[in-house]
Amino acid sequence: MQSFRTELENPIVEKEIIELERKIREYQEGKIAEEKFRSLRLARGVYGQRQPGVQMVRIKLPFGKVTFKQLLRIADISDEYASSNLHLTTRQDIQIHYVSLAKTPELWTKLAQDDITLREACGNTVRNVTASPNAGIDPEEPFDVSPYAQALFSYFLRNPICQEMGRKFKVAFSSSERDTAFSYVHDLGFIPKVRTVAGIDERGFKVMLGGGLGAQPMIAHVVHDFLPEDQLIPYTESVIRVFDRYGERNNRNKARFKFLVQKIGLEEVLRLVDEEHTANKVKSFMVDRNAVPQPEPPEVSPVVAELPIDLFRYEVWEKTNVFPQKQEGFYAVYVKVPTGDLSTTKVRKLVEGVKGHIADEIRITQNQGLLFKFVRKQSLPHVFNILNSLGLAAPGFDSVADVTTCPGTDTCNLGISNSTEMARVLEQLIYEAYADLVYNRELKIKISGCMNSCGQHGLAHIGFHGSSLKAAGKVVPAAQVMMGGGTLGDGLGRVADRVIKVPSKRVTDVLRLILDDYASYAMEGELFHDYYDRQTKDYFYRLLKPLADLTTLTDDEFVDWGHEETFQTAIGVGECAGVVIDLVATLLFEAEEKLDWANESYRTGGYADAIYHAYSVFVSVAKALLLDKGVNSSSQHAILKDFDNHFVETGEFTVSGGFAEHVLQINKHEPSETFASYYLAAAIDFFETTKAKRKAKDMINV
């Protein structure tokens, strides 16, 4: 395996890539268990595909921001290591597919040259921090949230408190009360606010806590109407520390933060969050408001004045895909990217074509499109012509005709149905039969290949997720129809209802019936949410029930969209949770590694990090010993309590005041050098005592 260590400037990244290279070699030599290695690679953005022997690599782009140079670099990487395609995700990442595991360190090295990371794009970590794509140019925003999203991303990247949580943790920043980043379905969601105190404007955020999509979607709770800007990072740190300690570890279906809120109650969660404040690395964190400056606008005039190649199509496109920025004289151009997929050939032609006409900063949108910034009026025809030549000038961005979808069975282990082809079919239906709906941005259609909502079907007005039915002794590809979800604004939203399940090939009929019914029976000016509530879920169940009749199935309905063979459910093991094998020896080995990290942090003055690494040593060692007795605790907090019950109370370990109280001193003290020294010494003593006891036990057994 070739190494490119000398090409990197960041010693931390260099060390990580060397470590990944070493771990891959050890895994291939059989020295690291499959389950343990899965956790390691997921935290580095390397995700197993449906197809055996290849990987999906997820590239983490904070709030979807990417420059021309970075986009071209990713295209080059996809050509060299993947399938010459870039997939834009609903979390504003870029994914590439069919990558050889052995090539991932080399790939990461080349990405790092342009300040692009894979770190913590997957696994039990803080995932990509998302934000409204128009942040910084939104006429309705109180202020630009981009610097705050960047600060939160940077602060928690490689942060010890969020490297091995029970599940992933998602954060979003919306630019205004329109809540275009969907704050209400995130673990933490933020909406910018300004209040005036004694004649001085103060920045802050409305805070939503404990939301999430997935198979069991939940709407977040409003926990702060105004959190001062300097408390954004400390508050987030406290929340994550609580999730790490109290979150479920055994049942991955209950391991998201929303389930912790459900289990112990919002009031108790908020009490625990307050309790963690003392131990935070920082008590106040002022974000540099200029950390994410607006890019330079292009030159005053385009090189050559142009006319649109198709005037009628241009006029529709301009009305639906072009919007004025808050910066006078400039426009934002939204690009509708079908199913979020861009070939590398198109990427290069796109960048070359729009240079000099847009700013050197593109944002990936939550509905898998692109946003161009600082486009002058006279450049719009040229930009349209370039997009049109690449098949990217379809009107109706973020309208009924802009269907969001996950990759489904194309590459995902959990995919049940082909969501991408279904999206293409539904979009074609809109353009052909309901062309006026390209102007309707109040009604959204979203599709996921399974119930996990990567395509956001849970927050759609009309949503579908992959499923299956049985008929005539065979399996039929099916779609669960969802209705009534969506954004209400200012942190409020609705989760879609499950209405009925129908064969997948009938989704076009489903959509026709719903849209025709809405057009025929809605009151003048009545929005879809109001119409749905007035008619009720049962009304739509009865409307669609004939489409669920399996006695009328035709042969082609046993074949999924985009396929030729008869449908079969072939669901693999999902890796979103980064499952970790709980073997005693592995846990003790990890504890030794964490001790090294703790000592290194202490030597460099990172006392808060040293303390948290030492805390992780306590937890890992205690968990290993409990597993040796057949006790599998469901959370870190439970591990501490169970260790008291099974080891301290039995006299096997002597800990004054109890093990849990001893370890939980972590949130009773400031992260000072004095406490770090004491706490680290205690962790070392616990680890060495355990090693000695196990060695003595092994000698007796021999």
Strands 130-131 and 171-173: parallel
The predicted-structure confidence for 203-246, as pLDDT tens digits, reads as follows 999 999 999 998 889 999 999 999 999 999 999 999 999 999 99
Report residue 557 CA to chain centroid gap.
33
Categorize the per-residue pLDDT at 569 as very low, low, confident or very high, splitting at 50, 70 and 90: low
Position 582 scores a pLDDT of: 39
State the residue for tokens 């309905």.
557
Say whether pLDDT at 562 is over 90: no
Backbone angles phi, psi at 258, to 5 degrees: -60, -35
Position 214 scores a pLDDT of: 83
State the residue for tokens 């709030």.
63
Of 375, 218, 393, 361, the C-alpha closest to 292 is: 361
- Compute how many other C-beta atoms are within 10 angstroms of the C-beta atom of residue 87: 25
Max avg pLDDT among 37-51, 80-94, 294-308: 80-94
Backbone conformation region of residue 522, classed left if phi is above 0, alpha if psi is from -120 to 50, else beta: beta
**Which residues in 304-338 are b (16+ Cβ under 10 Å) and which e?**
eebebeeeeebebbbebbbbebeeeebbbbbbbbb
Return the SS3 of 523: coil
* Burial of 400 (C-beta count, 10 Å sphere; 0-12/13-18/19+): buried
Structural contact between residues 232 and 154, judged by C-beta atoms closer than 8 angstroms? no
Q: What is the mean pLDDT of residues 124-134?
A: 96
- Compute how many other C-beta atoms are within 10 angstroms of the C-beta atom of residue 193: 21
Report residue 304 CA to chain centroid gap.
41
Position 400 scores a pLDDT of: 95
The predicted-structure confidence for 500-528, as pLDDT tens digits, reads as follows 999 999 999 999 999 999 999 999 999 99
**CATH fold for the domain made of 311-389:** Alpha-Beta Plaits (3.30.70)
- CA-CA distance, 596 to 687, in Å (whole number)? 12
**Which tokens in the block code for residue 659?**
């093990």
Position 120 scores a pLDDT of: 87
**Which tokens in the block code for residue 360?**
């050197």
Position 568 scores a pLDDT of: 59
Between 3.40.50.300, 3.40.50.2300, 3.30.413.10, 3.50.50.60, what CATH number should domain 404-558 receive? Answer: 3.30.413.10
- Compute how many other C-beta atoms are within 10 angstroms of the C-beta atom of residue 702: 5
Structural contact between residues 165 and 243, judged by C-beta atoms closer than 8 angstroms? yes
Report residue 298 CA to chain centroid gap.
32
Say whether pLDDT at 570 is over 80: no
Of 517, 395, 397, 496, the C-alpha closest to 448 is: 496
Max avg pLDDT among 414-423, 502-511, 549-558: 502-511
Structural contact between residues 237 and 280, judged by C-beta atoms closer than 8 angstroms? yes
**Which tokens in the block code for residue 661?**
């109280």
Position 143 scores a pLDDT of: 98
Categorize the per-residue pLDDT at 580 as very low, low, confident or very high, splitting at 50, 70 and 90: very low
**CATH fold for the domain made of 130-279:** Sulfite Reductase Hemoprotein; domain 1 (3.30.413)
- Is the model more confident about 533 or about 123? 533
The predicted-structure confidence for 10-33, as pLDDT tens digits, reads as follows 677 777 788 888 888 888 888 777
- CA-CA distance, 223 to 213, in Å (whole number)? 19
Q: What is the mean pLDDT of residues 649-660?
A: 93
DSSP of 365-392 = -TTS-EEEEEEEGGGHHHHHHHHHHTT-
State the residue for tokens 């020896």.
585
Q: What is the mean pLDDT of the chain?
A: 90
Name the CATH architecture for the domain at 584-701: Up-down Bundle (1.20)
Q: What is the mean pLDDT of residues 435-456?
A: 90
For the chain, the domains span 5-112, 130-279, 311-389, 404-558, 584-701
Say whether pLDDT at 567 is over 70: no
The predicted-structure confidence for 244-295, as pLDDT tens digits, reads as follows 999 999 998 899 999 999 999 999 999 999 999 999 999 999 999 999 999 9
Categorize the per-residue pLDDT at 76 as very low, low, confident or very high, splitting at 50, 70 and 90: very high
Of 467, 548, 457, the C-alpha closest to 500 is: 548
Categorize the per-residue pLDDT at 417 as very low, low, confident or very high, splitting at 50, 70 and 90: confident
Categorize the per-residue pLDDT at 420 as very low, low, confident or very high, splitting at 50, 70 and 90: confident
- CA-CA distance, 492 to 225, in Å (whole number)? 13
Position 7 scores a pLDDT of: 37
Say whether pLDDT at 86 is over 70: yes
Position 578 scores a pLDDT of: 38
Position 375 scores a pLDDT of: 96
**Is 311-389 the same fold as 5-112?**
no
Say whether pLDDT at 572 is over 60: no
- CA-CA distance, 464 to 419, in Å (whole number)? 9
- Compute how many other C-beta atoms are within 10 angstroms of the C-beta atom of residue 215: 11
Of the candidate ranges 36-45, 213-222, 340-349, 530-539, the one whose mean pLDDT is the lowest: 36-45
Of 497, 469, 459, 464, the C-alpha closest to 481 is: 464
- DSSP 8-state assignment for residue 128: P
The predicted-structure confidence for 354-389, as pLDDT tens digits, reads as follows 999 999 999 999 999 999 999 999 999 999 999 999
Position 303 scores a pLDDT of: 56
Q: What is the mean pLDDT of residues 589-605?
A: 92
* High-pLDDT (> 70) share of the chain, %: 93
- Partnered with residue 60 across adjacent β-strands are 117
**Which tokens in the block code for residue 246?**
């109290």
DSSP of 220-240 = PEEEEEEEEGGGHHHHHHHHH
Return the SS3 of 180: coil
The predicted-structure confidence for 628-652, as pLDDT tens digits, reads as follows 899 999 999 999 999 999 999 999 9
- CA-CA distance, 672 to 311, in Å (whole number)? 67
Name the CATH architecture for the domain at 5-112: Alpha-Beta Complex (3.90)
Of the candidate ranges 109-118, 485-494, 535-544, the one whose mean pLDDT is the lowest: 109-118
Task: Please work out, in degrees rounded to the nearest 5, the angle formed at the alpha carbon of residue 642 by the alpha carbons of 673 and 169.
Answer: 65
